[in-house]
């Protein structure tokens, strides 16, 4: 039985990772994420599995999200999808994506509580990687950068409703030495370095928690329906 994806329409392909953040070096690959719509028969069939993909090579890292699932993650404040949403570097774009971004800019899918919890949770997962891999290892340094950058991203979203890339110079000045290994930290030193970013996102949430914004699920479902039932690719 064929359980592969049917023909897909790519709604957008965005650059993410170090190239977007302005933290790339000569060893950095190009990370991109596609948001796609599979054909409706594939979506409806109980015999076909529709899921994202992840392909890695020596020069690139490519991930895809099915749009209906991507929208659900966005409305939950998911940290990884927020990076895609606010990426200003793209390979391709479509009217459906521009409709989606119009709603995003209007705050239709903003989730105050979700952004806070998702970004703190993702950062915590990176913290576990740091200690498991070792703060001086290549993977540990990468996780350390992701930890701080994710806390910054979450705070920016809570305070301003958007994220501007690349990261600001003051943050790049902290992250690049960590990534390159030119500034090494033991566990205690890294905790001291990271503390202001924990305080930043916590303070941002404190400012917003009495006026929580929740996503407009009805509008999200209308946009999903529009994407799958209409061929607005041009």
In the block, tokens 């015999």 appear at 47
pTM metric for this prediction: 0.88
Catalogue all structural domains in the chain, each as residue range(s) with its CATH number: 8-110+216-229 (3.30.460), 112-211 (no CATH)
Please give the Cα distance from 87 to 162 (Å, whole number).
Answer: 10
Highest average pLDDT, of 5-14, 141-150, 185-194, comes from 141-150
Give the whole-number percent of the chain exceeding pLDDT 70: 91
219-231: average pLDDT: 89
Please give the Cα distance from 110 to 166 (Å, whole number).
Answer: 21
The total of other beta-carbon atoms located within 10 Å of residue 22's CB is: 15
By three-state DSSP, how is residue 5 classified?
A: coil
Residue 113 has pLDDT above 70, yes or no: yes
Please give the Cα distance from 120 to 97 (Å, whole number).
Answer: 27
11-38: average pLDDT: 89
The total of other beta-carbon atoms located within 10 Å of residue 203's CB is: 13
Please give the Cα distance from 129 to 124 (Å, whole number).
Answer: 9
Residue 107's closest CA among 15, 221, 225, 220? 220
Please give the Cα distance from 148 to 198 (Å, whole number).
Answer: 8
**pLDDT for the residue 4:** 40
- Structure confidence at residue 25 as a pLDDT band (50, 70, 90): confident
Cis peptide before 166 (omega within 30 of 0): yes
Instruction: Flag the least confident range among 47-51, 151-155, 173-177.
Output: 47-51
Please give the Cα distance from 175 to 144 (Å, whole number).
Answer: 8
217-233: average pLDDT: 85
Q: What is the 3-state secondary structure (H, E, C) of 18-57?
A: HHHHCCCCCCCCEEEEEEEEECHHHHHCCCCCCCCEEEEC
């Amino acid at each position: 039985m064929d359980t592969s994806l049917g023909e897909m329409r790519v709604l957008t392909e965005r650059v993410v990772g170090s190239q977007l953040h302005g933290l790339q070096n000569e060893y950095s690959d190009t990370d991109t994420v596609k948001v796609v719509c599979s054909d409706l028969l594939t979506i409806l069939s109980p015999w076909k599995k529709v899921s994202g993909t992840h392909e890695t090579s020596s020069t690139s890292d490519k991930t895809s999200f099915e749009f209906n699932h991507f929208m659900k993650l966005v409305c939950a404040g998911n940290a990884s999808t927020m990076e895609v949403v606010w990426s200003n570097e793209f390979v391709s774009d479509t009217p459906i994506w521009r409709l989606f971004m119009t709603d995003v800019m209007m705050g239709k899918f903003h989730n105050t509580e979700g952004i806070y919890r998702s970004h703190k949770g993702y950062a915590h997962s990176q913290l576990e990687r740091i200690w498991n891999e070792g703060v001086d290892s290549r993977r540990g340094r990468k996780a350390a950068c992701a930890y701080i950058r994710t806390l910054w991203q979450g705070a920016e979203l809570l305070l301003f409703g958007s994220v501007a890339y690349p990261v600001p110079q003051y943050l790049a000045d902290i992250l690049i030495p960590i990534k390159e290994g030119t500034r090494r930290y033991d566990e205690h030193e890294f905790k001291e370095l990271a503390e202001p970013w924990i305080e930043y996102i916590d303070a941002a949430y404190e400012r917003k928690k009495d006026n929580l914004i929740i996503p407009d699920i009805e509008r999200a479902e209308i946009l999903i329906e529009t994407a799958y039932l209409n061929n607005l690719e041009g």
